[in-house]
Amino acid sequence: NRDGEDNITDVSKLQTFLNERGYKAGYTDGSFGINTEGGLKRWQTAFREQILTVWGIFNPTGVFYQSSRHIANKQVGCTNITTVLDNGVVLN
């Protein structure tokens, strides 16, 4: 993510995911830069209820963490998943 180590493969997958859905994450180069962060924030805003409000926040973070990963997995077809967030909220 923007504050940690970039895993080139994971970031590339995130960029592809966002770009395929029209969230303009820039080139698929595996680098988590301003374009990737912007695309991620736009996507988080579009799915605010499922990604942000479960943490009690309104504004997008640009961090691909538990709820973001859960919703992304569901959007690519992984429907039989449960995620327990650090705050105890359970996502199905």
pTM: 0.91
Token pair for residue 3? 């504050």
Q: Give the tens place of pLDDT for each residue, 51-60.
A: 999 999 999 9
The more confident residue out of 3 and 13 is: 13
For 4, phi then psi, to 5°, come to -125, -165
3 pLDDT exceeds 90? no
What per-residue string of b and e applies to 41-54 under the rule 16 or more CB within 10 Å gives b? Answer: bbbbeebeeebbeb
* pLDDT (mean) for 38-63: 97
Mean pLDDT rounded to a whole number for the chain: 93
User: Tens digit of pLDDT for each residue in 27-39?
Assistant: 999 999 999 999 9
Q: What percent of the chain has pLDDT over 70?
A: 93
| Cα pseudo-dihedral 60, 64, 68, 76, rounded to 10 | 130
CA distance to 31, 36, 52, 84, per residue, from 46 (Å): 23, 15, 10, 22
Domain ranges of the chain: 8-91
Nearest-angstrom CA–CA distance, 11 and 82: 23
Average pLDDT over residues 7-17: 94
